[in-house]
Amino acid sequence: MANSALTDRLKHEAQRLGFALCGVTPAATPTGLGHFAEWLSAGYAGEMHYLADRHAAYAHPRHVLDGVRSLVMLGMSYARAEPASALSTAATTETAGRGRVARYALGSDYHDVIHDRLAELASVLRAESPGAAVRGVVDTAPLLEREFAELAGLGWVGKNTLLLNRQMGSWFFLAALLTDQELAYDQPHGADHCGTCTACLDACPTGAFVAPYVLDSRKCISYLTIELKTAIPAPLRADMGDWLFGCDVCQEVCPWNHHAAKPAESESQSRVPGGTPQPGEAGGMDLIELFWLDDAAFRARFRHTPLWRPKRRGILRNAAIVLGNQRTPTALPALIRGLNDVEPLVRGACAWALCQFSEPAAQEALQARRKIESDATVLEEIQ
């Protein structure tokens, strides 16, 4: 098939598979590689050491697929999921003991869903071009997806460092299909439509943006609740508010997201990652019950969802911080249980949370734990 015909076929199939955005760009060294190196050198990646460890591989897509000539960049919407933004930092009867989950994480793991779609798209390409080398990736390969998506005409990188599209805002996942076939290429997106707007920078609860287009991950709530494996820095805990997993603030305030297109209902059910949110999750997750889940129950509930990434200890750490911010008395039994958890990370977070309460039960539990605690970091939290 001619390059344009094959490209048109791939774009048609991508749309059928639920990808709302599709553009093609040639494989090349990304122009933003120098900025990426500067970002790493500044320490903004925090504990995400895998980025620096694979820094050299980001220099060209050939490190993802040998002989690659083209990248088909794809966007799949998750705009149909309602945000859990009704919660406030001050607990009410309706929100007490509940925590917010980022919109993209409501439901099943998007990696699994998108990988299945990419496999179908790759099969189409191989059928049309027998012997073609193809590889599909979803944010786990050393590839600067946002830059290649911009080169493929899907949108522009906004001041909040997310890819923005005029019709879809930023409520979409990025994926890529790499191939050694030469395709018909789209024009890069040449305009930045953020203008003078600084809504995302101004709204960030922890001040994670050191400048427009520059994010210090070490202060980002998404990083703190997902990627960080150690205790959340004390100065940032109160600013986490009700966020249990991830954060949508810089997206929710973006004007381009106020009118973002949503998939049709039938498409939402079958094509969009995430599936149907678990009961109550769209309005906040019950945090208190999490402390009564053992390892097996936690695995059964979260194994195939994005919330599995920080594992049980990370989720309970986050839940303790949220409950400490809310200071809801009904959370005391759960926090006291967590204070005696097998994981020091959980005990330390619960100790901090209990210190936010004035109830005698909280102080008694802390003093009792202090007498038997052997972990220095937990003792420091109690002190």
Residue 157 is encoded by which pair of tokens?
């990188």
| Cα 108 to Cα 105: distance, rounded to the nearest angstrom | 7
Question: Would you mind telling me the total number of residues written for the chain in this entry?
Answer: 383
E strand intervals along 83-202: 98-101, 134-137, 156-157, 163-164, 172-179
Q: Which is catalytic among the residues 53, 66, 112, 139?
A: 139
Active site residue 139: yes
The encoded tokens of residue 158 equal: 């906004």
Residues 6 or more apart in contact with residue 338 via CB below 8 angstroms: 291, 316, 320, 346, 347, 349, 350
Are 180 and 69 spatial neighbours (Cβ–Cβ below 8 Å)?
A: yes
What stretches of the chain show up as alpha helix (H) in DSSP?
A: 3-16, 33-41, 49-53, 110-128, 145-151, 199-203, 221-222, 234-237, 249-252, 265-270, 295-302, 311-326, 332-339, 344-354, 360-372, 376-382
Nearest to 340 by CA among 382, 281, 311: 382
3-class state of residue 66 by DSSP: coil
Q: Give the C-alpha separation, 255 to 270, whole Å.
A: 28
Active site residues: 139
